[in-house]
Structure 1
């Protein structure tokens, strides 16, 4: 048995800790145990003399037979999940049109196509060609998908007739949600909505206004309220895109949403990323600034989110999965929704199948963390999953190192101690 390379043994403010990313276990130690482990980490036989400590370390996966075996197990489980093929994940864009004019969004530059019934029928045929799947999950995306609500209704009913298990979610700006649409969401099997609010009214309306320049915040809030009254089983994830121009509004928006007493409505911070210019955009947070913001949320406001402590689920973004496809309104095929509307990133079509294998293979196996020397050496590999594949590919093209690493990587001690501290807040 050996001391795992995925261990992090450390001291902070006269407290002693051990974290292991294989088990995602985190424990506070007494000083004697800490000293015993520290002095004998390279001499496991000495630790065997204390069966209590040895058993604890074994259960925590702090001692293992081989680091290489553990690495291979992580890789195997990740690849097994990566290539699961029983569920078809479709992101369907019934239109690229949008009623908003958000400065950071791609839709402003694209043709405002709407999906035809002919394309709907091709999607149905496309699904039927997957003989090994047992279920279909659709994410309605755009543009603003509710501008093409007729298509959503029509295509949903066509997919249901195939006879597979079917579920759906939607990413919407929330402005067009009305009583008529809300009452139909359940029949359309839509279980969740993601709605973006970029702060309270003044900030939000300056960033997410109508194309005509009209305000949107109050109407979106009214629509969320109505949705919560009429269909509270639908989960609503409110995403706030955060950069240096609106960071102070997150806590205000969080408190405002909490004051509404909504059921099944959640709000989470999402850092605005500039993949093309990650180190030169003055409005975008770098990794250190993200870490400071996360820390302040907890220490100053008692708010904690998933970015503070990792998860050991061996899951990657669905773009790595061959049964995950993004379909544009004209039947064009993409792997990632970041690419929607970019003709250079189309890898095929419903009519012609795969026409650009390089794009497809880049997403499936390119910029793989299991072939990245820095990832292989990293203590956090078992809980990191490599970050966003789209960002990894872009970083690789630009020769950027560690551009997609999570904020916790360079702040592990601080984040772990804060994770412990949050239980006392």
Structure 2
């Protein structure tokens, strides 16, 4: 007995054809409307034996118990949750202080401070004890991590002394980058630098709202610093943050940055809607917001920018990873995020452990610290589980992609903000993938 997969996106391609995409298997096909209606709507399987065999192989149909695909996804999540590799990746905020005062910062209200050397040593020891494979991917975060260069170098030196191979990334506003910092980046084996750009010229300066004692034009300094990174052959991600309702600003910023740096082959330029639930929402897009999101995405895709987010040796991403599907946010994922694994953490300046960087400095969300160890408290259990928070997620066509959605957004903003922003435009994304394959 065949069952129709819940995890498919179907839309008319023409008067006579339907376009189908499986969010579970990533198969994509065109099929005559009449055949589609008979098989998928009327369930006339016996009249289309050969079709059904092929559709089963592609994941559009399946045999067995009714929720077999859902149970298989549960098993995949469970493997991620319980994987016992020790700590292979970590996010560290060596300081929660920042020299910018962005109005949208999700760390407002979080405690601020800079890590001392005693805590830094405890962080290093915590990692050394739990890094079984002697390979570690570190994401340096903040606050503004480049305000704590000495602490980063101290932790790095301790890890290297313990013969742990390190690969790192740095998320920074970029204002402090100089030749000396470049040397530190090399010591940290920083494979990528991510810089957020919030507009052009005075718009950028107003949003970043740097410390009052700065006596230079911050925007121009950032542009100069990006050029310095380029001269040093660094891998750069430029993230354009924008309000989900403000397409024109995102468009103008992306256009400017592309015209200035677009010939650099190690650049990835993209737009990201802000988490601003009080304005509208990150996941609760209406039709206009979804259309803006798709347009911003295409501005990056059409200019040939390829996301290398998973191209790091320490992350060991699958060689079968489809970068085009990744760009279009159509790739299935084994869990809601890798932070569901029992050994994945974020560490703040006080040495507290969290399960997401969005919780940094908000101590009600911590689950232990580097001095006393991991606490398997309520917050820990909310992440380290293969169970769904909302059983309705398993019925959604997007489920193999989001696996129940963002846990942090669910905790911080409510259930309706857990869905991925791509959900509102998934048919446009599937059509874009079809156009890519056929053109």
TM-score by length of 2: 0.83
Change (3 A) 1:100 1:9: closer
2:244–2:289 Cα contact (<8 Å) kept: no
Rounded to whole Å, the distance in 2 between the matches of 1:387 and 1:310 is 14
List aligned pairs for 1:72-91, cutoff 5 A.
72-86=71-85, 87-91=87-91
Aligned length: 409
1:175–1:219 Cα contact (<8 Å) kept: yes
1:60 counterpart = 2:58: yes
2:229 maps to 227
1:250–1:269 Cα contact (<8 Å) kept: yes
RMSD between superposed Cα atoms in Å:
2.9
Residue 401 of structure 2, aligned match among 383, 386, 390: 383
Task: Report deviation, 1:140.
Answer: 0.8
1:160 counterpart = 2:160: yes
1:236–1:265 Cα contact (<8 Å) kept: yes
1:254 counterpart = 2:274: no
Residue 416 of structure 1, aligned match among 430, 433, 437: 430
2:94–2:141 Cα contact (<8 Å) kept: yes
2:91–2:138 Cα contact (<8 Å) kept: yes
Q: Which runs of 5 or more residues in structure 2 are unaligned?
A: 304-323
Rounded to whole Å, the distance in 1 between the matches of 2:280 and 2:423 is 22
Per chain length, whose mean CA-contact separation is higher, i.e. which structure has more relative contact order (CA < 8 Å, sep 6+)?
Answer: 2
3-state SS, counterpart of residue 237 of structure 2: strand
1:266 counterpart = 2:265: no
Deviations along 1:265-315, one digit per CA (max 9) or x if unpaired, are 1112111113xxx3x425878412431113434789974995744112324
1:101–1:108 Cα contact (<8 Å) kept: no
Task: Report deviation, 1:390.
Answer: 0.4
Rounded to whole Å, the distance in 1 between the matches of 2:438 and 2:10 is 22
Rounded to whole Å, the distance in 1 between the matches of 2:289 and 2:282 is 9
1:287–1:406 Cα contact (<8 Å) kept: no
2:245–2:292 Cα contact (<8 Å) kept: no
Change (3 A) 1:193 1:386: farther
